[in-house]
Amino acid sequence: MAPWWYTAGSTLLFSLGAAASWPYSSYKSIDFEPPKLQVNKTGSTEPGFIFLGPRGAVQPAGQAALIYDNDGNLVYEGPEEVTSNFMVQQLNGSDVITFWAGDMMSIGYGYGTVHILDNTYKEIYTVTLTGDFVTPDNSTKASYIDLHESNITPQGTLLVTAYNVTQHDLTSIGGKSSEWMLDSHFYEIDIATNEIINSWSALDHEDSIPLTSSHQKLGGTAGTQENPYDAYHINAITTTNNGYLVSLRHMWSGYYIYPNGSVMWQISGEDGADFTQVGNANFSWQHDIRVWNETDDSLALTLFNNANTPTNSESPTTGVTLAVDLVKKTVTGTRSLSDPSDTIHSVSQGSYQLLNETSGHVFMDYGSISKVKEYDGNGNVVFSGKFGENNAVASYRGYRFEWSAVPFWKPSLNVTRTSSGAIAYISWNGATDYDNWAVYSASSETSTNNQQISSANRTGFETAVTLSNLTTNYIQVAALQGSKVLGTSEIFSF
């Protein structure tokens, strides 16, 4: 029997609808069941929390935007929904968190919305994309933004991907003169107004990006409107000094695009394309291409080198750095990251995050393999995390970011009676900076002059405080940073 991620034509499934369950945590103060992040620390890591968007479990609980600390404790759980690209970005000089949420199609893309939240978790912008799009079942969507990219630019715009089902002549690759395929688009959108600033279509540049170059061959049932052929598979887009860099996974290539949409140059993991490969500069089925240190003469590229699909297993998945000489037209492989004690073949998704250019630390999410790893500057694994069964639970991308937040909602409290008193179970979803709790006895549900009866240091996501010699049935708690009160719960009656 074929594995869950395989369909005819080696299309990648993103829905994971029939996957196994994940080991999960549960709490008494709040109704959450996030997947457990099993952590192994073997060295010093860069500071920051772990940002994931797991999905694939049978239970819907925990399928959300999630933040964990370095010990694997939950810090934040968002609404229960399929999410992608959950990360910290800069907007107007401030840190915000962003994520895509929507419906993932079984043929490897999605329709949804990008949400932008401030450091209290209030949604300050909601970015959507409308227009004349065709879907596999002719349904109309509220927003056509695809799951693969939601990248805030230095200009305060948002780069997103989109897929349009299109009829096209596929005779050049052995098809018919009028079959259905996916056209890969990207859009640059003004965040405040949802106005489209720029757009690009791969099919509009077939002369520079011919269908015959695709490594995703036409076959099986692909070519119908319900199952369109995916020649390109756009999965990353970033701004450059002179335009954009676009990753097309099924072409094994990145394309440097002028603002008018024309292709300046192509870099291929197979043969270099417009560049001569020096050393090991190969990659295939890649994700998350990013540009670093760009000048008029050179630039560096980082990428997640899947090197595998469900039907094409080539070599272990690696994190790759390439040095591109724009004058000599050479591309040189300068770094390749993998864990020698844990060979991974990631057939889809994944990300490569350069945490610190000085230390060389890199954080990698392995996509269809439910693992994250941090590497130091010498290529040693200093952190590993696992959050489910391989090829059954996935996170499209995963990151490490520093993040400071004081939620606009109150801490959560639940009190359970015991033979000698009670136990107070306390948490504050999303709060990052408090380190201790104060527990108060109240005279009523509306009391304001309450007496402190206990205190406790913060322990992970939820703290349990044993209470004795209680004189009332009303408890309130406050989250503190040192002696500073950051948030106070409602009064709980028990």
CA 210 – CA 167 distance, rounded (Å): 16
Domains of the chain: 6-401 (2.120.10), 412-493 (2.60.40)
Closest among 242, 138, 252, 257 to 187, alpha carbons compared: 257
Q: Which residue has the tokens 């490969």?
A: 277
What pLDDT, on the 0 to 100 scale, is given for residue 56?
A: 85
The pTM (predicted TM-score) of the whole model is 0.95
Report yes or no: 76 and 83 within 8 Å, Cβ to Cβ.
no
CA 75 – CA 429 distance, rounded (Å): 6
Looking at this protein, which amino acid is placed at residue 481?
Q
The beta strand positions in 42-132, using DSSP E, are 49-52, 66-68, 74-77, 83-91, 94-104, 110-117, 123-127
- The string of DSSP letters for 296-313 reads SSEEEEEEEE--EETTEE
Query: Hey, how many other C-beta atoms are within 10 angstroms of the C-beta on 137?
Result: 8
What pLDDT, on the 0 to 100 scale, is given for residue 20?
A: 56
What pLDDT, on the 0 to 100 scale, is given for residue 6?
A: 26
Report yes or no: 489 and 476 within 8 Å, Cβ to Cβ.
yes
Rg (CA), the chain: 24
Which sign does the torsion angle of CA 171, 175, 178, 179 carry?
A: negative
Q: What is the pLDDT along the chain (494 residues), one digit of tens a residue?
A: 222 222 323 334 444 444 456 899 999 999 999 999 999 999 999 999 999 999 986 667 899 999 999 999 999 999 999 999 999 999 999 999 999 999 998 889 999 999 999 999 999 999 999 999 999 999 999 999 999 999 999 999 999 999 999 999 999 999 999 999 999 999 999 999 999 999 999 999 999 999 999 999 998 889 999 999 999 999 999 999 999 999 999 999 999 999 999 999 999 999 999 999 999 999 999 999 999 999 999 999 999 999 999 887 779 999 999 999 999 999 999 999 999 999 999 999 999 999 999 999 999 999 999 999 999 999 999 999 999 988 889 999 999 999 999 999 999 999 999 999 999 999 999 999 999 999 999 999 999 989 999 999 999 999 999 999 899 999 999 999 999 999 999 999 99
CA 379 – CA 377 distance, rounded (Å): 6
What pLDDT, on the 0 to 100 scale, is given for residue 11?
A: 38
CA 270 – CA 276 distance, rounded (Å): 11
Length of the chain: 494
